[in-house]
Structure 1
């Protein structure tokens, strides 16, 4: 079986906990090397996952045995290294958000198209089978005509040294958590979503937004989104229609052994559907590798990256334009 040779640019926690296990166990990928600014750090990761350490990101990009890279660097650093990876002729799977602003998003998408390379934003939850089941329920008419969508993603306060408290690295609740809710709204609300209003609450000590909410509208329905990183943990979405509501809890971060529960509420009562466990990290690795190896089907990924970047920017601009609280 043909395999995609992947290099990892950076030794972030998500790489160690989730993506490197998925990359090393997939029959479609081979981890060629792991790079860090520190050779010692790269050595630790390489020893753990049976691959080669590389000191320096460019040194990994210069390797002829690397076909593609996974980029888990902080959001504020991703655009530079995505550009360098594409210029080196590598397919790219990068953590979300791909960039912190629409302009660099357009730059990297246009570069990937000129080079004929795959550029994919790692919204792994989209590759979990639970969301297909929710869509099937909605399309079969279980909740009637869809009217509204809501999503929440909140987490407890992070340690003071966490990079999500650093604005220069792309920190903040909107990019880290709100991005999931915006992407989920696109999945269920269809094309034509626009931001009608938004609020962001900032921490004056760090300068990053720690919580927010947004209202989006489309020709089909409205979407109410909330997110924050100083809250009780919430990770769910609901679709309400003319005849019922369907809700999925732990929607964005289910572990591989978790069996999702979809709750369907109608006038005659509520029903809970226990779904099979699924590993969305393994699934996104497989989807990325299959697409890159096939050499086609790249265009849609770029379109989705640009739409996501535009909506996040709309949220930011709407919040900036909102009148201050009394």
Structure 2
């Protein structure tokens, strides 16, 4: 690939996340550009191409046949990720795919191994983790601001969606665990040291939904650290985590869903004082895209970070599988 020209990206699917966040962020990046947009609807492909650039393509297969696509962005429903990620990789394209990379550990591990065997970059779009607010939290923990870690509580939830929302379709990989449970699990992986195991889990199934609509999970970390995670689309809105240690605690609101204009504020509470640390706004969607592009262009540091993130994708998929198994074991 010629490093002097922008990375040529093909988009497989015209999902809401692509329309609202990813493609506008891509448009602001001189080092990458959209060259093709594919949809099962020709009209939808033309609409996206008119707004964000590139050639409209009717059908996902036809996009992968093009010669002007270096990498593929996949915002399709979760159940379609494995198929189209594999097709793109076998077609010689680097892949950025929305979370979760697949619906289970086995497929995630297989695709990670495939990408590595082909010398291609594969990135699960865990965009929230690219926000610098989490770097600051990790620095505070490392510097002893909360003392010895004891507990993490994390939650991402919002009210019910319209009945025809794809989150309620089991055939498309719907359900709260994969859609929003992913975020608190990733927060636990990001903030707690060492390995994590599932100590208990409950998945809620509201009448007529057909999928899990919420859940509560207890994770056991190394030593005496635990994480209590809540998620779903059956609650009032919440996007927050709290790290609680022997000397204090850190609270972060809008932890998973900060708009690019949002000014994060870390609440640091200790025995004799409370401090509010205001941070700068940031666009974590664009930060994730920049990481992907740099890794494709063989930036050594970003390639190493991407390899670690791919291992984390497999690790997270294992935990999500374990949550599902634990919840099934104790279902009434």
TM-score using structure 1 length? 0.97
> Quick one: which of 293, 297, 320 aligns to 1:312?
320
Superposed CA offset, 1:162-201 (max 9, x none):
0001111111111111000101100011221111110001
- Alpha-carbon separation, structure 2, partners of 1:168 and 1:206: 13
1:134 to 91, 113, 137: 137
- Equivalent in the alignment of 1:191: 194
Q: After TM superposition, list the pairs within 5 Å mapping 1:49-88 onto structure 2.
A: 49-88=52-91
CA RMSD of aligned residues (A): 1.2
* Corresponding residue number in structure 2 for 1:261: 265
Q: Which residue of 2 aligns with 1:222?
A: 226
- Counterparts of 1:18-167 in structure 2, within 5 Å, are 18-167=21-170
Counterpart of 1:15 in structure 2 is 18
Per-residue deviation at 1:28? 1.9
The C-alpha deviation readout for 1:53-92, integer Å capped at 9, x for no partner, is 1111111111111110110000011111001000101111
* Unmatched runs of 5 consecutive residues or more in structure 2: none
Distance 1:94 1:145, change over 3 A: same
**Partner-residue secondary structure (3-state), 2:297:** helix
Is the contact between residue 263 and residue 281 of structure 2 (CA under 8 Å) also seen in structure 1?
Answer: yes
The alignment of Structure 1 onto Structure 2 pairs a total of residues equal to: 324
Stretch of structure 1 that moved more, 139-148 or 278-287 = 139-148
Q: Does 1:3 align with 2:11?
A: no
Whole-angstrom CA distance in 2 between matches of 1:24 and 1:7? 13
| Deviation of 1:206 (Å) | 2.7
Partner of 1:302: 310
Cα distance in 1, alignment partners of residues 83 and 99 from structure 2: 14
1:188 and 1:108 map into 2 onto residues whose CA distance is 26
- Structure 1: which 4+ aligned runs deviate by more than 6 Å? none
Q: CA deviation at 1:204?
A: 3.8
Residues in 2 aligned to 1:78 and 1:208: alpha-carbon distance in whole angstroms: 19
* 2:92 match: secondary structure: coil
Per the TM alignment, residue 255 of structure 1 is displaced from its structure 2 partner at its CA by 0.5
Q: CA deviation at 1:2?
A: 4.2
* Gaps in structure 1 of 5+ consecutive residues: none
Residue 290 of structure 1 and its aligned partner are, at CA, apart by 0.1
Determine the structure 2 residue equivalent to 1:283: 287
Structure 1 stretch displaced more, 105-114 or 274-283:
105-114
Q: Tell me how far apart the structure 2 counterparts of residues 30 and 258 of structure 1 sit (CA, whole Å).
A: 26
SS of the aligned residue for 1:248 comes to strand
Q: 1:213-245: per-residue Cα shift (whole Å, max 9, x none)?
A: 101111142111000101100000010011100
Distance of 2:177 and 2:331 partners within structure 1: 19
Spell out, residue by residue over 1:78-123, the C-alpha distance to the aligned partner (whole angstroms, 9 max, x if none).
1110010001011111111111111211221121111111111111
The 1-side partners of 2:193 and 2:6 are apart by 34
What secondary structure, in the 3-state scheme, does the structure 2 residue paired with 1:21 have? helix
Whole-angstrom distance in 2 between the partners of 1:321 and 1:93: 34
Q: Is 1:172 aligned with 2:175? A: yes
Match of 1:237 among 236, 241, 247: 241
Contact 2:168 2:175 in 1 (8 A): yes
